[in-house]
Amino acid sequence: MNALIGTATAAPLVRVENLSVGIRGRGGAQILDSVSFEVNPGRITALVGESGAGKSMTTKAILGALDERIFTVSGDIEVCGEDVEALTARARRRYLSSVSALVFQNPTRALNPTMRVGPQIAEAMRFSPSGPRLSREAARERAVELMRQVGIAAPEERYHAYPHQMSGGMKQRAVIAIALSLNPKVLFCDEPTSSLDVTTQALIMDLLDELRERLGIGILFITHDLVLAASRADDVLVLHSGRLVEQLPARHLLEDASMPYTRDLIARVPKPGQALPKPRPLPVLAIEPTSHGCSYAKECALRQDRCATERPPIEELDTEHKVRCWFPIDPAAARAGQEPSEAAAPGTDDIGATRDE
């Protein structure tokens, strides 16, 4: 696999190459189309895009959570050096539970409302097939310590609380404590802050940031919030209609994005004091089976004839920035306020020009 974004020298914790997911049956739609990326130790990799872009489907495919009777999955998936696609379903679940964990979007739904929070954390350690088989007392002590580590105040008391007796932020911290109970090397976080208020969202992101620095875990963070990704992640992957269209360091996202789709998403982020933009129609979940061009061609201001018929490859703009576009936007020109046609990268003179080959 080609080296992807990130400067970490350690082996990637997650390595995905040409991951494709389709729906079985004649004329079955393609949901993910040859997606490739890496998640490195001690780094937060944000997977962004609109609803239906394929973000959650990517995580489900990695974790083997798709029904084989409905979906087809192809490509190479390695987690902590293990080719998980080569494992049986049972061996895959056992292995993944020992090296990774999933933090759900809605903490209220993730917790059992009829069971006290502390015992839920302890139970995850005692009965996991890959767990250390702790005694009841040892699991309780470990659960209290985990609650303390994730910032739950008075953990000895909160151990006996029911979920409804905790705030949304505290419940999400409890969910993270469950995820950490088996010492995972990778966290998959599927919109873990979307159901929280802004203040609590910041606290949870502070916690995730502290965990990846202290424990060296890698985090795949799914979000539709570009500002959150730009301010909290290390690397950003942009999905559109099941295709990876751009990848770059998070610190460069808002200013240096070159894919017209990414620029469109950024332009729709409301500025302070600005009214919310009108909602746009949700994208179709799957790529049209007959489409061989750019998935964004119909909406792109820079589109040319080849965009509708020829699929652009992922190309390097520099060592940390890759884009899938025949006519990427030059970040410097965009910052200078040029129109999209004028800001096209070198090789395009205007909207009707043909790029130099």
What does the alpha-carbon distance between residue 232 and residue 283 come to, in Å, rounded to a whole number?
26
What's the pTM value of the predicted model, to 2 decimals? 0.84
In a domain, 126, yes or no: yes
| Residue 131 domain boundaries | 110-184
DSSP 8-state secondary structure symbol assigned to residue 323: E
In a domain, 121, yes or no: yes
What does the alpha-carbon distance between residue 354 and residue 341 come to, in Å, rounded to a whole number?
12
Quote the number of domains for the chain.
Answer: 1
In a domain, 337, yes or no: no
In a domain, 119, yes or no: yes
CB 329, CB 344: distance < 8 Å = yes
In a domain, 279, yes or no: no
In a domain, 159, yes or no: yes
In one-letter notation, the amino acid at residue 306 is R
What pLDDT tens digit does each residue of the chain (357 aa) get?
Answer: 333 444 445 899 999 999 999 999 877 788 999 999 999 999 999 999 998 899 999 999 999 999 999 999 999 999 999 999 999 999 999 999 999 999 988 888 889 999 999 999 998 888 776 666 788 999 999 999 999 999 999 999 999 999 999 999 999 999 999 999 888 999 999 998 887 888 888 989 999 999 899 999 999 999 989 999 999 999 999 999 999 999 999 999 999 999 999 999 998 887 665 554 554 544 443 444 336 899 899 889 888 999 989 999 999 998 899 999 999 998 776 666 665 566 666 554 443 343 443
In a domain, 327, yes or no: no
In a domain, 172, yes or no: yes
What does the alpha-carbon distance between residue 260 and residue 243 come to, in Å, rounded to a whole number?
14
Partners of residue 14 on adjacent β-strands = 39, 79
Name the token pair of 147. Answer: 């609650």
Q: In angstroms, what CA-CA distances link 342 with 1, 307, 321, 331, 345?
A: 34, 18, 21, 11, 9
Q: In angstroms, what CA-CA distances link 227 with 143, 251, 253?
A: 33, 10, 9
CB atoms under 10 Å from CB of 319, counted, come to 9
What does the alpha-carbon distance between residue 295 and residue 286 come to, in Å, rounded to a whole number?
10
